[in-house]
Structure 1
Amino acid sequence: MKTPPPVQLPRSARIVIKLGTGVLTSGIGQLDRARIEAIAGQVAGLRRDGARVVIVSSGAVGLGMGRLGLKHRPAELARKQACAAIGQRLLVDEWQRAFDPHGITIAQVLLTHDDLRLRRRYVGVSRTIEQLLAYETVPVINENDAVSAAEIRFGDNDTLSAMVASLLGADFLFILSTAPGLVDLDGTGEIMPHVRRITPEIEGLARGTTSVTAVGGMVSKIAAAKLATKAHCGVFIASGAEPDILPRLIAGEAPGTYFEPDGRGMDARKRWLAFFQRPCGTIRVNDCAVPVLQREGRSLLAVGITGVEGAFAEGDIVDIAAPDGTVIGRGVARFDAEAIRRIAGKSSDEIRRLFPGRRRVEVVHRNDLVLL
């Protein structure tokens, strides 16, 4: 069996490890303590080598289901939230018990999407996790399912783990679940050990999940890998049931799939714009504007705009789409949607006559614009 290539951990490497419900449990509500202890031991080994490790742990809803005697994941939001509230304490207690023999303290961090979408909260979360790492703890992160409504949910912990990797500027993200890696279902039927670029063909190999306690499946894992690699983070997808999976993946000795990081780096604010938002609308641009944005790195001016979709205010995050509808960028709108409709296609001089009090007439300034 082919395995992913070995990777070199930089000094003081930053590593995010996402563990799915299927890895942590042996049935609904039944924790697999031996596996949790094994993962804790591997994390302790990485820390001895100088790495700083963050865990994104699923399992709270499933543990709550087990404590309540439920056989199927509740469809009603309030019931899922109740299961999460019950199961989260059990989950954190188990992680601390597993790390106690190694003298490691864990820290619970529960997040909603708004904690990363809103800039001030994003900065606050970043500073908190950085301080926890400075205290040499292992942050254990989960979505705050007990309070998360649909509009502030990440959707799954694969997405959350990729966002955390981007937030921290992680070197590697390990997504461990019951899936052994990305399988070439349309070809050889074998695990693809190495993906240099996530293409539409690669995305087409993904499938969902049939687990009664899990969400996402390979579809969400590929989406997470796409996000993390664009944040210059290498991503492994592998089975958490494999013995010593973390050191063996690093050494190139375990089955799984490795996704190479994108070569383009982004600063922290650009990553926040690119990966943490739910845009409020879309600005459509003409063919001339696309190369100006993509190749010359200039601001978006009204003269290149052909239309607007949605209702948004000045300061909201918006997508920028090419004539064929492809989203090529994202940024902060300096005019509201109605104003952009008025100025679309106009020159800067015309805009100054319409808005004589404005000093700047860029619709999206290049400092507030990221290409996707």
Structure 2
Amino acid sequence: MGSSGSAAQAGAGTRSAIATAARIVVKVGSSSLTSVAGGISEVALKNLVDVLARRRLAGTEVILVSSGAIAAGLLPLGLARRPKDLATQQAAASVGQGLLMAHYNHAFIGHGVTVSQVLLTAEDLTRRRQYVNAHRALERLLHLGVVPIVNENDTVATHEIRVGDNDRLAALVAHLVKADALVLLSDVDSLYDGPPMEGARRISIVDSPEDLEGIVIGSAGRAGVGTGGMATKVQAALIAAETGIPALVTSTENAADALSGEDVGTWFSINGSKRPARLLWLAHLADIRGRLVLDDGAVRAVCERHKSLLPAGITAVTGDFDAGDAVEIADSAGRVIAHGLVNYPCGDLPQMLGRSTKALAKELGREYEREVVHVDDLVLLHP
């Protein structure tokens, strides 16, 4: 059962999209699964599974992106809190991932639902061969009626090749499987325009990133075992919305109401169309190695006329990069407007700034007639 052409698309502008979705991605955070004594809360996990299993048995394809592996590994290793060093995080994840899956398998099997473990790294979502393979594996699992349980492969991932948080991973998985909706669950019931305990107002709907201007968004939750907080959930919801997938941010306690399309949490309406996976990677996952600063004319050419970036419009270059690396592209005020794959190493660019490609080709050779960043290798961050 694929998502294209499904009934969910007709209601994608409202919460009813979730109630009618044929395929959903649900992400749950560590703070929602952790008990007061440490480790995984069987009650919290079972309550979530009851909701997801009912939805799966009703015919919806469900992918669960679950944090909690490191948290589950703390108690068996005698650790009082989440470790800060990568090696101990990897050890905790290695111990905890099996325990987490054992809990999920036991809870889902009580409903007659089969689950699988899918561990992904950033490379699985950025390199074409791995991306296609991950897509094929998930599609097959869904076709077989399985609920894939996805997590980042924390045991082998390094700081340099991490997706970074499971909220963003969930948004990328939603794109990978062309989901009809993304639901991000944590211990906070909604996004507010200020501290909830100070009488702040719930933000019910976000139609565009501009709706969030001036709002201070919190960090990690109360349990202190996660890596994100509301900020990463908002970022993930915006990633999904700008790629054609509506998203809802709410609490795990509201999971049943959320999947029924009730008025809970904060709804992020679609404000873009589905991007190719390569551009999604360039916008949100690429390792940025430098910066190109543009004059006002070049900013208009890139942003308004969707042109390639030429050396004539570049005023400054910073960073250490080679041809083919990702760089950020900024206006004269320092605002980053785009990411792109540069065609020249950093050492070649200073002599090219402000000059036409024709003049450069005449003086330095025809290989300098290329664009600095071709339009096909450029993604606007504020379209």
TM-score (norm 2): 0.86
Q: Say if 2:102 is the partner of 1:93.
A: yes
1:48 shift after superposition: 4.4
Distance 1:67 1:16, change over 3 A: same
Aligned to 2:116: 107
1:359 shift after superposition: 8.6
1:28 shift after superposition: 4.6
Distance 1:137 1:251, change over 3 A: closer
Instruction: Check conservation: 1:8, 1:250, Cα contact below 8 A.
Output: no
C-alpha distance in 2, partners of 1:89/1:348? 57
Q: Say if 2:351 is the partner of 1:339.
A: no
Aligned to 2:230: 218
1:288 shift after superposition: 0.3
Instruction: Check conservation: 1:29, 1:64, Cα contact below 8 A.
Output: no
C-alpha distance in 1, partners of 2:273/2:72? 40
Instruction: Check conservation: 1:286, 1:323, Cα contact below 8 A.
Output: yes
C-alpha distance in 2, partners of 1:304/1:346? 8
Alignment of 1:1-372 (within 5 A): 6-9=15-18, 13-185=22-194, 188-199=199-210, 200-201=212-213, 203-242=215-254, 245-246=255-256, 248-358=257-367, 361-372=370-381
Distance 1:207 1:83, change over 3 A: closer
Distance 1:50 1:344, change over 3 A: farther
Distance 1:271 1:75, change over 3 A: closer
Instruction: Check conservation: 2:19, 2:261, Cα contact below 8 A.
Output: no
Distance 1:321 1:214, change over 3 A: same
C-alpha distance in 1, partners of 2:317/2:179? 36
C-alpha distance in 2, partners of 1:11/1:356? 59
C-alpha distance in 1, partners of 2:333/2:44? 48
1:287 shift after superposition: 0.4
Structure 2: any 5+ residue segments left out of the alignment?
1-12
* Identity in percent: 37
1:10 shift after superposition: 9.1
In structure 1, give the amino acid aligned to 2:278: R
C-alpha distance in 1, partners of 2:149/2:117? 5
In structure 1, give the amino acid aligned to 2:135: S
In structure 1, give the amino acid aligned to 2:287: R
C-alpha distance in 1, partners of 2:19/2:353? 48
Distance 1:213 1:7, change over 3 A: same
Instruction: Check conservation: 1:12, 1:50, Cα contact below 8 A.
Output: no
Does the residue aligned with 2:347 lie in a helix, a strand or coil?
Answer: helix
Distance 1:286 1:42, change over 3 A: same
1:138 shift after superposition: 1.8
Instruction: Check conservation: 2:319, 2:346, Cα contact below 8 A.
Output: yes
1:274 shift after superposition: 1.7
Distance 1:213 1:335, change over 3 A: same
Distance 1:10 1:98, change over 3 A: closer
Q: Which deviates more from structure 2 when the two are superposed, residues 106-115 or residues 283-292?
A: 106-115
Structure 1: any 5+ residue segments left out of the alignment?
none
Q: Which deviates more from structure 2 when the two are superposed, residues 172-181 or residues 63-72?
A: 63-72
Distance 1:20 1:279, change over 3 A: same
1:181 shift after superposition: 1.1
In structure 1, give the amino acid aligned to 2:293: R
1:87 shift after superposition: 0.5
1:49 shift after superposition: 4.8
C-alpha distance in 2, partners of 1:96/1:170? 23
Does the residue aligned with 2:308 lie in a helix, a strand or coil?
Answer: coil
Listed one character per residue, the Cα deviations across residues 285-316 of structure 1 (whole Å, up to 9, x for unaligned) are: 11001121112222111111112111111111
Does the residue aligned with 1:296 lie in a helix, a strand or coil?
Answer: coil
Distance 1:293 1:180, change over 3 A: same
In structure 2, give the amino acid aligned to 1:235: A
C-alpha distance in 2, partners of 1:330/1:259? 24
1:86 shift after superposition: 0.5
Q: Which deviates more from structure 2 when the two are superposed, residues 259-268 or residues 138-147?
A: 259-268
C-alpha distance in 1, partners of 2:365/2:204? 59
Does the residue aligned with 2:48 lie in a helix, a strand or coil?
Answer: helix
In structure 1, give the amino acid aligned to 2:241: T
Distance 1:29 1:254, change over 3 A: farther
